[in-house]
Structure 1
């Protein structure tokens, strides 16, 4: 449809029809509750405003799935809609739709933007085949506190990595360039703007309070980077920031998102966030809440119905808002037109069956799962020796198929490859026995056993939205299981599933080898089996530090320097009853390859404006494995006028290192990479020395001086 006709359509709409386009609801209002095809991700709201013709003015639907259901709702809607403006369907496919990939925190441990883009492309194909047009992903909220439940949706504690991985997923979802949505793509919705991951105390939905320097330098940076890929949607966050709920903040929405970050597409609230302005106690009633959100620039109200209920009174008192409403409706109509929905509003139900769980998607899911696993510790226990054939798998996850993680969308546990299934596929000669506890294992089996795999972790329901935890230790029963296995004197290794870093100080000395698998998704068993049987090597590196104890969170690598740095003295920045530093730091991850770095060289020792610095070195792989190595470059500013982090990651690269080969690597820094945001929010750099680190937060490989 020509844009001229879209403008004419807007002019023909009544005010009620316009407000309908700015409102989103759930699918049961049209066809009743279909449990297998509808997903609710928030609380119920009164539905009285959706009665009669109002229901057929709505602009979008959240949480329904399958081509049959979306078509059924769309058909009924268009039959009764006056202007026949098609519905948009939106969903939360956070790490896959039917084919489930590792949770985002796991995906981030690949450090590989190509993998995340591929995950997003496959997810988009499945979504579009089922009639979904918008995906509420990626989440690029910077997270430093592993007590927060939604850490599993994040890309970890570094702002640059989070932004880059989010940008890769936007590129994958939309599949087009410069914000264009390809035929098999979906619109990406970047979330949650802004600083949602910094809730006080690690509690979900909690207030956020920080300096503007902290925001622009760190918490705002992932959005700034990811927005360069031009997502079609941004979702406002639940939290308040500096005393104002973001959903009602003209400063956040208009000055920063629209102005500073130059986003000019559609802003949608989170589920019920407009109504919840009353709970924040900045709005006395629903009318005030709706007016605050409209003034802030929230284009679509998700699920709650305050726009529908109060628009007449709001516009009677503030007629200037009509111009903003028209602009929002026009964007929505233009987006629907861009997708071709006016000509073809329905999904191809035959195509859906060809696309979902496509073998190519499953292979990509296995590769992503393998690359996301992180080998945290290994006292020469992994891989399992080929001569070990009698293997016991024990623990609460030993035979479990519940390995998808939270936000599993339409993923089915029935499609999950379990660990025993994966190990038999990897090696048919294995004699596997599976037990939930060691007490279940007959003494004769234990005596014949060559190796024990201990499958432990955090149940998937314990992480995700609304699942913040004060205690992130491994369950005591699982700690006891590990100690019981140790007492058998059999060789063993631990395989752990979780949605967050856990605090393992109390048990780590009893674990000779630990492979952290996060929640790996549909192909979990195949991926893990190939790693622990030596058919591949783990290559993941942590994107979030592991605390020693629950109360050590938040802990992160780029903390600010302090006047009394942590040391063994009582008068230093440390806990008196805990060792200094994380149990496993950001960037940590072992392989089976004994990778060697050598020959560090820098192109210059002095640096001035307009010049670049090149760091060169070699990476050697003395093993039989072809694998991908993640190289991370950090800097340290030895003296600056404003306090800076102890270390700052500036560059990273994923390089392929063939077996028994040496690869030359170059990484380049510009002067801008050494600049920082000062207390006046200005990018600055002072003359002085900087240390450079490669994959090691303790020992610099070179120094350079800016003059």
Structure 2
């Protein structure tokens, strides 16, 4: 539709029709139970939601409808009764894949590979487009440091630069560009949840968040600031309150910070039911007041509540200037629909879906990305890899199951998922899998020197609404490990979870440990490829593993202390626990060795006029084609306020052929060394900066910062 035609359409809209475009609901109101398996159902009846046979055909978008057939049916039923014929836009939560399920985002973050993350976004977008879905509620770049929070599985971990850059890559994959332009075979990315949702009190989902502005802008908002550089066309406000103010009703966070400070200019949507939940927060007495607060704060699409449509006319009589917000939101949304060509082509080609969904190209990519997402945490005496000819005995709760998709698995099917048992059987002939130790024939147990033990927590123990205080593996799994060790077996752990687990009770009894998280449809194939040495593990932890549950929240970039942790009683440590995490951020082993050598600095001084080049030489001494993640950390040991003991500056993932030697370079600007102070200002100071590569405890170089000016840095 030409812009003039679109403008004429906009001019012909009534206020009720405009408010309808700002309202989102689910699809069952249009097709009933005809496509029950393809709908996410709200629960309340249409009347309870405040809809009737007339205003339901004014809404602008629908979420949770799957399959091209169901989407076309909803669209058809809607357009038959819509006065202006403005098509619905369909949205969904394909967090780590739509029908082909990739590793959970926390596992994807272990790749430290922006190209792979972009690929996940691109391939997921292809399946969504073929189905008729135009908006994906992803990525989530909430910074997380507390493994008790269930939604850590949706995150990219505990570092804001890593989270932001992986989020940016995923947005570019979804949208098909780096400038916000939506490609023909791409979808809109909805960046979420703005902001600080990942820091709830006690790790309890939906709980309040209280933190300093220094912490907010230095860490929790930083990941959003970086991801917004990819120009996502939609942002979702978070459920939580921030310093006593619910984000859904916060003009400060949504207008001053997101719009003005971070210059976001596209559509802002609430989370599911969050507008109505302002009543539960205690800042609104009823739905009418809740809607007014949200609209006034800048919410432009209300997800699964109906206050705008019901009370919008009253809001305007109360504050006439709100019409400017309404008009801008509706005009932007109509333009987005027009950009997709929805006015001319409101329906999707149902034949295309079958060609794209779970195509060989996408499934093969899922296996490759799953392999890159696993982290080798222990490998005593190079026990791994095993040989195909070995007797392969696999025991434990995840040995035979196909429930390996992880939470938020969209339209993924367990029946299409490769179990651990099947993955090994695809490569070897002498494979035996059992859920319990007492099922294993005595003769088989006697001749099995090495035993693969599957440990962790079930997929549905993490995810939204699934916060837990206990991060230990259960006692039955602990006993299985102890019993096998007592028999003199070499015990190889395969770890499954949506969060870091506390493994202090069993780590000494494991001879090797590969943490696989939840890898999606290709889990079994990827795990077998790694354990049997067809591929080498390359992942690194994006989130630290505690020794015991009570050690969380935990992060590598904690602030320095006047009495740093040491063997002294009077230092910052627990008296009954070794210092530090069991496995820190960035940790990950390999088969063979990739050597880092010849770390060189272009200068001993860095300034605005003299950026610093850090170069190093990588040599792949292993027997594998592999990838090596190079993580550059800094330490500012003397500053005007306490700084983190280590801070990530940059990272690269380098592909290396067997025996290959490559030079790697980082460019460090003075802005990379600045920080947010207690007055919310970005500050730059002269002094000495120490650098670390991969190893948080091994300094490799330092540089003197000698700038002509100090103080506020712009």
Shared fold per TM-score greater than 0.5? yes
Q: CA deviation at 1:198?
A: 0.9
* TM-score calculated relative to the size of structure 1: 0.98
Inter-partner Cα distance in structure 2 for 1:626 and 1:387: 19
Q: Partner residue of 1:409?
A: 410
Post-superposition CA distance 1:213-253 (Å, at most 9, x none): 11111100111111111111000000011111000000111
Which residues in structure 2 correspond to 1:110-509 (within 5 Å)?
A: 110-380=111-381, 382-386=383-387, 388-427=389-428, 430-509=429-508
Post-superposition CA distance 1:611-651 (Å, at most 9, x none): 12222222222221010000011111120001110001101
Inter-partner Cα distance in structure 1 for 2:509 and 2:699: 32
Q: Partner residue of 2:28?
A: 28
Inter-partner Cα distance in structure 2 for 1:523 and 1:375: 18
Inter-partner Cα distance in structure 2 for 1:89 and 1:609: 47
Q: Which secondary structure state, in structure 1, belongs to the residue aligned with residue 665 of structure 2?
A: strand
Q: Partner residue of 2:712?
A: none
Structure 1 residue 5 corresponds to structure 2 residue 5? yes
Inter-partner Cα distance in structure 2 for 1:476 and 1:705: 52
Post-superposition CA distance 1:363-401 (Å, at most 9, x none): 110011000000011113543432752221100000110
CA contact (8 A) 1:403 1:524 kept: yes
Inter-partner Cα distance in structure 2 for 1:100 and 1:542: 21
Q: Partner residue of 2:710?
A: none
Q: Partner residue of 2:15?
A: 15
Q: CA deviation at 1:199?
A: 0.8
Q: Which secondary structure state, in structure 2, belongs to the residue aligned with residue 49 of structure 1?
A: coil
Inter-partner Cα distance in structure 2 for 1:154 and 1:48: 31
Residue 672 to residue 357, structure 1, CA distance change in 2 (3 Å):
same
CA contact (8 A) 1:391 1:450 kept: no
Q: Partner residue of 2:709?
A: none
CA contact (8 A) 1:382 1:532 kept: no
CA contact (8 A) 2:385 2:530 kept: no
Q: CA deviation at 1:12?
A: 0.8
Q: CA deviation at 1:284?
A: 1.0
CA contact (8 A) 1:24 1:58 kept: yes
Q: CA deviation at 1:490?
A: 2.7
Q: Partner residue of 2:50?
A: 49
Q: Which secondary structure state, in structure 1, belongs to the residue aligned with residue 281 of structure 2?
A: coil
Post-superposition CA distance 1:572-631 (Å, at most 9, x none): 211222111100000000000222222222222223331122222222222210100000
Structure 1 residue 86 corresponds to structure 2 residue 75? no
Inter-partner Cα distance in structure 2 for 1:304 and 1:190: 20
Q: Partner residue of 1:685?
A: 684
* TM-score calculated relative to the size of structure 2: 0.97
Residue 691 to residue 607, structure 1, CA distance change in 2 (3 Å):
same
**Which residues of structure 2 form unaligned runs of 5+?**
707-714
Post-superposition CA distance 1:107-149 (Å, at most 9, x none): 0000101101111111001011111110000000000111100
Q: Which secondary structure state, in structure 2, belongs to the residue aligned with residue 315 of structure 1?
A: helix
Q: CA deviation at 1:662?
A: 2.4
Residue 45 to residue 248, structure 1, CA distance change in 2 (3 Å):
farther
Q: CA deviation at 1:177?
A: 4.4
Which residues in structure 2 correspond to 1:54-93 (within 5 Å)?
A: 54-93=55-94
Q: CA deviation at 1:200?
A: 1.3
Q: Partner residue of 1:674?
A: 673
Q: Partner residue of 2:653?
A: 654
Q: Which secondary structure state, in structure 2, belongs to the residue aligned with residue 275 of structure 1?
A: coil
Q: CA deviation at 1:86?
A: 0.1
Moved over 3 A (4+): 40-48
Residue 697 to residue 176, structure 1, CA distance change in 2 (3 Å):
closer
**Number of aligned residue pairs:** 705
Residue 485 to residue 182, structure 1, CA distance change in 2 (3 Å):
same
Residue 72 to residue 45, structure 1, CA distance change in 2 (3 Å):
closer
Inter-partner Cα distance in structure 2 for 1:280 and 1:42: 22
Post-superposition CA distance 1:327-373 (Å, at most 9, x none): 11111111111110000011110000000001000111001100000
Q: Which secondary structure state, in structure 1, belongs to the residue aligned with residue 699 of structure 2?
A: coil
Residue 393 to residue 36, structure 1, CA distance change in 2 (3 Å):
same
Q: Which secondary structure state, in structure 2, belongs to the residue aligned with residue 376 of structure 1?
A: strand
Inter-partner Cα distance in structure 2 for 1:546 and 1:406: 20
CA contact (8 A) 2:107 2:517 kept: yes
Q: CA deviation at 1:43?
A: 8.4
Q: Partner residue of 1:590?
A: 589
Residue 493 to residue 43, structure 1, CA distance change in 2 (3 Å):
farther
Q: CA deviation at 1:46?
A: 6.0
CA contact (8 A) 1:267 1:298 kept: yes
Post-superposition CA distance 1:7-44 (Å, at most 9, x none): 21121111111111110111111111333212358988
Inter-partner Cα distance in structure 2 for 1:155 and 1:648: 16
Q: CA deviation at 1:450?
A: 4.4
Structure 1 residue 104 corresponds to structure 2 residue 105? yes
Q: Partner residue of 2:711?
A: none
Inter-partner Cα distance in structure 1 for 2:49 and 2:39: 20
Q: Which secondary structure state, in structure 2, belongs to the residue aligned with residue 672 of structure 1?
A: helix
Q: Which secondary structure state, in structure 2, belongs to the residue aligned with residue 496 of structure 1?
A: strand
CA contact (8 A) 1:178 1:229 kept: yes
Inter-partner Cα distance in structure 2 for 1:651 and 1:312: 50
Residue 36 to residue 587, structure 1, CA distance change in 2 (3 Å):
same
CA contact (8 A) 1:596 1:619 kept: yes
Residue 239 to residue 179, structure 1, CA distance change in 2 (3 Å):
same
Q: Partner residue of 1:574?
A: 573
